[in-house]
Structure 1
Amino acid sequence: MLSKLAPEKTTLLLLVVGATTVCGLPLLLLFKTGLASEGSLDLGPLLEAIQNRSVQRALWHSIESSLWSALGASILGTCLALLIGLTDIRAKGLLVFLILLPMMIPPHVTAIAWIQALGPASPVLQWLGLAPELGSTHPLYSREGLVLLLTLQHSPLVFLLVRAALRSFPRELSDAARISGASAALMLRRITLPLLGPSLLAGFALAFVAALGNFGINALIGIPARYTTLPVLVWRRLASFGPDILPNVAVISVILAFVALAAIFLQSLLQRRMRASLIGLPQNPLAISLGAKRFLVEGIVWVFVAGVLLLPAASLLATSLVKTYGLPLSLGTLTWDNFTEVLWRQTVTIRAFANSTLIAGLSAFVIAVVSLLLGYYLAHRSSGNRRLAGLALTQSEIAFAVPGLVMSIAFILAFIRPIPFLGISLYGTIWIILIAYVSVFLAVGLKPVMAAFLQMDASLDDAARVSGAGFFRRMRKIFAPLAAPSAASGAILVFLTAYNEVTVSALLWSTGNETIGTTIFNYEDGGYTTLAAAMSAVVVGATIFIMLAMNVLANRVPNGTIPWKD
């Protein structure tokens, strides 16, 4: 019996040790560097940093912009979810795809697109005769402009959460309310919104934490607007002074981590108080008839979606097709040289595409395998196994909740020196980015797999054990095939997120180990606007192609494989 249990126990211990190594220890080292001196607790550097005027200003800017954008994203995402989830509006599948599309586009690409869409040099606005005067201040270079872009970037997160909550409601709730004569507005106010409370709070907290750790929009909009946030302050100090300033930026990173974790803790506390139990099977919610107003409502929704997607996309494409930034798009200025440059001539962009494809693919594969194994233990009959697996889950959730730039500092501190006993140095290599991706995105891939295992009948494991099947045989023959769709769903999300990200790799990349995100950011930051636009257009096209390819395969794969499909 012990020989049969040994592989199961050993695998669990290896999973917990691995999660602790890549998720827990780097953060522990970060907090030790920021809060300890000579082996004992020392709050002096933390208090000194808090009293620093630039840190205070950046902290306030981070909290202010995150709060306002989270509020805006919650309102916008909830309204869209209610319209699509509760009414008889048409073409819902296409609308859901288009609304979620900005969530898959990197924030720095979003910022570049909107900068080019609304600025004095906008090719589209110049063609329409609506461009601001040359030399005038860009309308987005302000606190309000930054909040607006953060709102548009993160409202799909709220939309996804609220829509999922609506689909989990029993149909009897809305049926009973309508039979009792309640109007749609009364049902929304007295039934739907109160029951959505925990999901609305979760969406607000998620949008807040995402905005708090956002680097691309905060840098590309905040720096010209002189509106510095904590992630940008950390990046600027480390980029200007190098690794010698690590203790200083570690303290600032600890402050940023505390704010994010405090927001998550407060959300969890409030959610427990607002939770309501529902009885009944989840079904499609009641489709409220809009009647004569349906055409108007559909028009408003489609105009909004088209404005959010088409204007920045057209500006991005137009900028990538002109010889010099600022020229109006015409037959005389049209050129494909920018695409030729980034796809064929510039070795850095070719290398960046290869690097991002490699490490995003590897991280997605590793996370899918780890999730399949760890998900089994999270739903295990033994409370001891569940507690150990829960330790790994908690560490992965903290690593995901903490802003990506904070995790970058944690990994620099952990791997700036060669690994003890092995003598291998990961700092300055592409592998440190890969390990950071696995750490930060493990929770993304694990959540759907854990949900799949929790729905499985425990008798499956009992029957396999009675039949004499060992641990790895049970996983290979029973549990892996059943949880594979959920693992694939998580892997797709991990790949799309890691392929385009810039926040985690902003401080970890080095010459020869560039990623797509850092290369685009460096082009824009260095003034090579047309090249940044061309590379961004390629990234947007690749993202849309992957999502459309997944949609084409939706009918050939098990339900749950495609994240944005029901």
Structure 2
Amino acid sequence: MRSPSAFTIAGGEGFSLAAVAFLVTLLCGVPLALLFAIGLTSEGGLSLGPLAETLASRSVQRALWNSLESSFLSACLATVLGTVLALALGLTNVRAKAPLVFLILLPMMIPPHVTAIAWSQALGPASPVLQALGLAPAAGAPHPVYSLTGLVALLSFQHMPIVFLVVRAGLRAFPRELSDAARVSGARTPRLLWRITLPLLAPSLLAGFVLAFVSALGNFGINALVGIPARYTTLPVLIWRRLAGYGPSVIGDVALISMLLGIVTLGLVAIQVLLQRRMRNALVGLPQQPLAVDLGRARLPVEAAVWLMLAAALLLPALSLFATSLMRTYGLPLVASSLTLENYAEILFRQAVTLRAFANSTIAAALAALLIAGLSILLGYFLAMRRGMARRLAGLVAAQADVAYAVPGLVMSIAFILMFLRPLPVLGVSLYGTMAIILLAYVAVFLAIGLNSVMAAYMQVDASLDDAARVSGAGFFRRLVRVHAPLVAPAAASGAILVFLTSYNEVTVSALLWSSGNETIGTTIFNYEDGGYTTLAAAMSSVTVVATVLVMLAVNALARHVPAGAIPWKD
């Protein structure tokens, strides 16, 4: 007699899997397939001619080199910073680890264009904080942020938390017996780190480096707001400029440039997978804290160094951002007569575009979070509870979501333009230029975030629960609603909040999809700064930073009800 887990899918279960596979393929797989079809076909059929012709352009070559250079340098710096912080917090007895982890991950949740605005206002000649301290650069002096060095530094700070998370997770997988055996053999802490910990961390270090590289490669906010004044054009900025400057007639051209960006990204991920297979080491034992280094007298200096680093990375730009938002005019000294709340009144109560942007982003991010939570619960069931063909099909669907998340957001934007520019069959309605296309793009790009959180919960659910419910006569939908959904709901809620945080402030995905009347918070802030309305951009950025921190603090209420790892900044 077959076990219940081996039953073939049928009825509502089969229909649900088919529906999820169709929807995810339509949103994640088909747009990217259309994008690659443009680069690999010509009038005569399959050809690399269009892609080769695009690559021959000097402007594309320069932008490609700039993208690779800035991404590589920033990924190296982010890997060093993230690894040092992960080792300090993961292996030693420093205090206040929970707030430190929260602060380390905060830059990852702050939109990159807000990061660029904050740092440009913090270090420029008109910086209100530096002016008050008498440290502002002389008027007319080159802005330190508007350079390759500034661009690399900002990209590094933005993506360092990604490396921190990956390395921290790698440390948690270490069995403690390794360090204990080395200590018994007489190895001191430096030798232990160099000969055991770091070699075993090699796959995690590589994964963190590649993630930081790919994130920098597709970053639009920092590359645009810092790279354009520095005359350092990268591929995302080149795509935005060409589409914004020449209109829909150049969609084919920017699609080919986007394909280059996608090829580089997927190539890096493939190389990472191959290298990690060679680096993989089988560890035996329960995952525990691998080391418990007592810093002794060095603990206070180490703690001070970590706090000072975080203060330098967060406090100065935050103070400058909020100070600028209170200025009557950008560049005035930080004195009482220069301060006003008019900028906040303007964006919160008077400017129709900002009110519309807040509403659009809130609705789109909330709907995307809810849709992703539902899809993740359904797809996670087939990944965790089913076997055979059902699980393989679900795995293929999840892989499409991972690819859509891995490729830069601008690439997915171009893919969605290709997919939805023409009117939909039967309906005869085009989604281009509407909030619907932005909402669908959010679902496609951020589905992997929600799915990973839900899968962490599903992995802790015993499959026998599903078998028992099936034997008792419960149908698929009844099992899903009464058994599985309640068990994974906290993790789904946590994932939904992370999706909301990510999409609420983003600009990379919506930069090419927004239109008049369908602005988002990210595009409005970018347009304010690009148009010279610095104080309004600072005020709107300040509101989004406060909202982001409040939502992150609210997520902590779920900490006791979700599996470990579902909330990145909680143990």
User: AA paired with 2:539?
Assistant: A
- Structure 1 unmatched ranges of 5 or more: none
Partner of 1:341: 346
Contact 2:325 2:539 in 1 (8 A): yes
* Alignment partner of 1:524 out of 529, 546, 562: 529
* Alignment partner of 1:487 out of 486, 492, 496: 492
Alpha-carbon deviation of 1:3?
Answer: 11
| TM-score, scaled relative to structure 1 | 0.97
SS of residue paired to 2:186: coil
Alpha-carbon deviation of 1:348?
Answer: 0.6
Q: Is 1:565 aligned to residue 570 of structure 2?
A: yes
Q: How big is each residue's C-alpha offset from its partner over 1:411-462, in whole Å with a ceiling of 9 and x where there is no partner?
A: 1111111101121221110010000000000111111222332343222222
Partner of 2:316: 311
Contact 2:456 2:565 in 1 (8 A): no
Alpha-carbon deviation of 1:516?
Answer: 0.4
Contact 1:485 1:560 in 2 (8 A): no
* Alignment partner of 2:440 out of 435, 444, 448: 435
User: AA paired with 1:346?
Assistant: Q
Q: How big is each residue's C-alpha offset from its partner over 1:209-246, in whole Å with a ceiling of 9 and x where there is no partner?
A: 00000000000010011100000000000000000001
Partner of 1:50: 55
Q: Distance in 1 between matches of 2:66 and 2:9?
A: 56
Alpha-carbon deviation of 1:491?
Answer: 1.1
Partner of 1:377: 382
Contact 1:50 1:56 in 2 (8 A): yes
Alpha-carbon deviation of 1:564?
Answer: 1.8
Partner of 2:163: 158
Contact 1:375 1:453 in 2 (8 A): yes
Q: Which moved more, 1:80-89 or 1:3-12?
A: 3-12
Partner of 1:201: 206
Q: Is 1:386 aligned to residue 386 of structure 2?
A: no
Partner of 1:20: 25
Which aligned runs of 4 or more in structure 1 are off by greater than 6 angstroms? 1-4
Q: Distance in 1 between matches of 2:516 and 2:449?
A: 29
Where do residues 27-66 of structure 1 align in structure 2 (5 Å cutoff)?
27-38=32-43, 40-66=45-71
Alpha-carbon deviation of 1:153?
Answer: 0.3
Contact 2:409 2:445 in 1 (8 A): yes
Question: Percent identity among equivalent residues?
Answer: 67
Q: How big is each residue's C-alpha offset from its partner over 1:286-331, in whole Å with a ceiling of 9 and x where there is no partner?
A: 3201111111111111110011010000000111111111111111
Partner of 2:453: 448
Partner of 2:251: 246
- Structure 2 unmatched ranges of 5 or more: none
Alpha-carbon deviation of 1:477?
Answer: 1.6
Alpha-carbon deviation of 1:44?
Answer: 1.8
Q: Is 1:397 aligned to residue 397 of structure 2?
A: no
Q: Is 1:365 aligned to residue 370 of structure 2?
A: yes
Q: Is 1:424 aligned to residue 429 of structure 2?
A: yes
Where do residues 14-413 of structure 1 align in structure 2 (5 Å cutoff)?
14-38=19-43, 40-413=45-418
Partner of 1:471: 476
SS of residue paired to 2:513: coil
User: AA paired with 2:70?
Assistant: S
Q: Distance in 2 between matches of 1:195 and 1:299?
A: 28
Q: Distance in 1 between matches of 2:372 and 2:146?
A: 38
| TM-score, scaled relative to structure 2 | 0.97
Q: How big is each residue's C-alpha offset from its partner over 1:36-80, in whole Å with a ceiling of 9 and x where there is no partner?
A: 123712322211111110000000000011111111101100000
Q: Distance in 2 between matches of 1:314 and 1:454?
A: 43
Q: Distance in 2 between matches of 1:52 and 1:425?
A: 32
Alpha-carbon deviation of 1:252?
Answer: 0.6
User: AA paired with 2:69?
Assistant: E
Q: Distance in 2 between matches of 1:390 and 1:561?
A: 20
Q: Distance in 2 between matches of 1:255 and 1:350?
A: 37
Contact 1:485 1:559 in 2 (8 A): no
Aligned length: 566
SS of residue paired to 1:186: helix
User: AA paired with 1:386?
Assistant: R
SS of residue paired to 1:222: coil
Q: How big is each residue's C-alpha offset from its partner over 1:152-201, in whole Å with a ceiling of 9 and x where there is no partner?
A: 00000000111122122222222222232211111111111111111111
Q: Distance in 1 between matches of 2:351 and 2:561?
A: 39
Q: Which moved more, 1:252-261 or 1:42-51?
A: 42-51
Contact 1:488 1:561 in 2 (8 A): no
Seen in structure 2, the aligned counterparts of structure 1 residues 166 and 385 have a Cα distance that, compared at 3 Å, is: same
Q: Which moved more, 1:84-93 or 1:161-170?
A: 161-170
Contact 1:524 1:532 in 2 (8 A): yes
Alpha-carbon deviation of 1:533?
Answer: 0.3
